[in-house]
Amino acid sequence: MPLLPHQKRYTARVFAAGAAALGLTLATACGEPPGEGTAGEGGDTAGLSDDPAFVWAVTGADRAIHEEVARLWNEENPDQQVDIFFLAPTADEQRQAMFQDLQNQAGEFDVLGLDVIWTGEFAEYGYIESLEDLRGEVEGVSLEGAVDSAQWQQELYALPYSSNGAFLYYRTDLVEEPPTTWEELYDTGTAAAEEAGISAYVGQGDQYEGFVVNFLELYWSAGGQLFDDAQERSTFLEGDAATTALDFMTRAYETGFYADGFDTMVEDDARALFQAGEAVYMRNWPYAIPLLQGEGDEESAVVDDFAVAPLPTFGGEGTTSALGGLNNAVSTLSDSKELAREFVLWAATDPEAQDVLMRNSLPPTMLSAYENTEDPDFQMLGDILAQAEARPPVPGYNSLSLAVQDHLHPAFRGQAEPQPALEAVDQAANDALEQE
């Protein structure tokens, strides 16, 4: 290369441009994450008390509801007030924030609001206290599935707080009676969709936890159970439930019963399509009801044309929903464990506290709340939740869930062989029982 007089300056210039560009990239990459408003989506205490005796870490979703519950406690216990630390609204970030608090021995949080599937993991890691001696207080008082989700290896580690269950939303102008079997759902949906020129079914088909839930609801309603009663080995492949469920999904995908884009759809995508009048059926949580009734900011095309029903089963008997919601647990690092236990018990069994949830359309876990409500949808939800299945809160649930996503998602899209995929899930279920 010929030697040029300006070579050095030239190199420096290129470097400067590159460095400036890199600096800008870093600045944008490290900026505020999009969509996280300053309105407190998470990551700060709520300032509910000047002198809080303990801190409750809970999701930033449904923020106002949790605040109302905490205020109620503070009114009743002015000497031992609680403050809330709001975590991010998404499950992964919540778990990560709690892990950081615990793993680094910070111990800022006394009460942990845990997703129903985390019990085994937190218990196994030594993050939460056993609450086995409080079992008598919640058994027969709280939803059975919610209590199931709060225990690991027959020991209670958390108490129920809120719940969630699935409805089958259907179009009353297109379908006369809600179906009771999946076959009937398929047939009526296909026919009505063809006639109206819209899609038959929307739900949660993206490769995430929602897909696992949608699959398990089919699986359970075909009589399947992931584990034996002692939670010692996988029974995923026993009977033909796994094949039945996967076959149904594969066929629904192939024949276009599932709407276009089902394989990338999450809760709110499904809700938006159904709300626009683009689908006959939808599987979704209760939160969509007020939105579909036109009470949100978005217009609804189905205000008077929809109703909810329990999800169908393969046999036509009963209904099977996956159970969602939160349980409260006591952190092993808490320095006010007695108080934290009191609060956890109060949130689970105080009728007034549970009524706060009910009034705000967040499903409570106390059975009596459903007996006293006059809202027919919530009465139905009470029935659904009484029959709902808890996803097994085994320590390796996250790995199991990822295995279901990794293997069954390509399988139902016809890109992987079904049998090896199901066997891989069975293997993952066994692995999920034991920590490595």
Partner 1 sequence: MATTQTVRVGRGLGERAMGRVFLAPSFAFMAVIALFPVFYAIGRSLYDIQGFRQEFTGIDNYVRVLTDPGFLNAVWNTLVFTVASVSLEFVIGMAFALIMNQAFVGRGLTRAVILIPWVIPTAVAAQVWRFMFDRNPGFVNAVLGTDINWLRDPFWSMVGVVSADVWKTAPFVALLLLAGLQTIPKDYYEAARVDGANALQRFWSVTLPLLRPAIVVALLFRTVEAMRMFDFAYVFTGYSNSLATLSVYAQRYLVREPDLGYANALSTVTFVIVMLVGLAFISRMGRHMIGDVARKEKR
Nearest to 292 by CA among 354, 371, 377: 377
CB under 8 A: which stretch of 159-167, 206-214, 228-236, 367-375 binds partner 1? 206-214
Nearer to partner 1, 143 or 198 (CB): 198
Euclidean distance between CA atoms 210 and 267, whole angstroms: 8
Residue 243 phi/psi, 5° resolution?
-65, -45
Tokens representing 111 are 């009460």
How many degrees, rounded to 5, is the angle at CA 113 between CA 109 and CA 219? 150
435 binds partner 1 (CB under 8 A): yes
**CA distance linking residue 283 with residue 164, whole number of Å:** 13
* DSSP secondary structure of 10-55: HHHHHHHHHHHHHHHHHHHHTSPPTT--TTTSSSEE----SS-SEE
| Position 21 contacts partner 1 (CB under 8 A) | yes
Within 179-254, strands assigned E span 199-202
Give the three-class secondary structure for 258.
strand
Kindly tell me which of 184 and 268 has the beta carbon lying closer to partner 1.
Answer: 268
Distance between CA 413 and CA 194 in Å, rounded? 22
x-or-dash string of contact with partner 1, 359-388, rule CB under 8 A: ------------------------------
Smaller CB separation from partner 1, 263 or 342: 263
**36 touches partner 1 by CB under 8 A:** no
- Residue with Cβ nearer partner 1 (75 or 436): 436
Helix or strand run (H / E) with residue 49: none
Is residue 154 involved in binding partner 1 (CB under 8 A)?
no
Q: Which of the residues 390 through 429 are near partner 1 (CB under 8 A)? A: 398-399, 402, 405-406, 409-410, 413, 415
Q: Would you count residue 172 as binding partner 1 (CB under 8 A)? A: no
Residue in 160, 159, 113 with CA at minimum distance from that of residue 133: 159
Which residue's entry shows tokens 């952190």?
331
What is the x/- site pattern for partner 1, positions 328-357, by CB under 8 A? ----x-------------------------
Nearest to 326 by CA among 71, 128, 66, 127: 66
* Contact pick of 68, 187, 263, 305 for partner 1 (by CB under 8 A): 263
Q: To the nearest whole angstrom, how small is the minimum distance from the Cβ of residue 203 to partner 1?
A: 13
The binder of partner 1 chosen from 7, 154, 255, 419 (CB under 8 A): 7
Q: Could you tell me if 186 and 257 are in contact, meaning their C-beta atoms sit under 8 angstroms apart?
A: yes
Only segment of 67-75, 79-87, 122-130, 163-171 that touches partner 1 (CB under 8 A) = 122-130
Rule CB under 8 A: which residues touch partner 1?
A: 1, 3-4, 6-11, 13-15, 17-18, 21-22, 24-25, 28-29, 31, 33-34, 92, 95-96, 99, 102-103, 122, 124-127, 206-208, 259-261, 263-265, 269, 273, 332, 398-399, 402, 405-406, 409-410, 413, 415, 435-436
